[in-house]
Every structure is written in structure tokens, then in C-alpha cells.
Amino acid sequence: MQLLTVDHFTGCVNETFVAQLDDGTVDFQLVEARSLPARAPAGFRSPFSLLFRNTAAVVLPQQTYRMRHGRLGEVGIFLVPVAMERGGFLYQAVFG
């Protein structure tokens, strides 16, 4: 598998990623994909951040989720809950 970059995700903003859980699946909407200001050394990817929204009634634990997307296929993404909104929770993934 190739190294993921922010360019893989920018065209997926507002689209659904489906995470596989032990007892079913849960949907996450990608709400932001942005480059981070740090410069990567030559030969390394530039750091970036992803922000997902989920409407579950309870916060899910930080962990790596196997997520499926129509164009990207299946990817493992480590999500950390970072905020609670009226309709659910926000989760962030940071790639260095």
C-alpha cells in the first residue's frame, strides 16, 4: 500500500467512511482534511490532519479503526475524540 497523504483525503471531505466495530459498523463523515504547518524532511510525507464527525450517542474510544471508503478502499486510521457537538462527537487523526 502506498503512503497516504492529505491529497488522498481532500476530495473526500463531506463523504462517509464506515468503521468496522466488533458488533457492527459506524459511519464517520470526513469534515476536514488539512496540511499541518511543519515541514517534512526530504523523502517523508508532509504532516496532515483529518477531522471526522460521528453521530453516535456515546463517545467511541481512541484507537485504530478499520475504515472503508468508496474510492480509498480500506484504511486503518487512529482516531482520537477531541470534541462533543450537539449532534455527536468529533474525532481527529494526525499523520506525521
Helix, strand, coil shares of the chain, percent, nearest 5, are: 5, 55, 40
DSSP one-letter code for 9: H
The pLDDT of residue 57: 86
Is 79 a domain residue?
yes
Amino acid at 83: A
> pLDDT at residue 71 above 90?
yes
Is 48 a domain residue?
yes
Q: Report, as an integer, the average pLDDT of 35-50.
A: 84
The pLDDT of residue 1: 52
Is 73 a domain residue?
yes
Is 40 a domain residue?
yes
Close Cβ partners of 14 (under 8 Å, ≥ 6 residues apart): 29, 30, 31
Is 34 a domain residue?
yes
Between 76 and 56, where is the model more confident?
76
Is 41 a domain residue?
yes
The least confident of 19-23, 60-64, 65-69 is 19-23
Is 1 a domain residue?
no
Number of domains in the chain: 1
Average predicted confidence (pLDDT) for the chain: 92
CA dist., res. 47 & res. 36, Å (int): 5
**Owning domain of residue 74:** 6-95
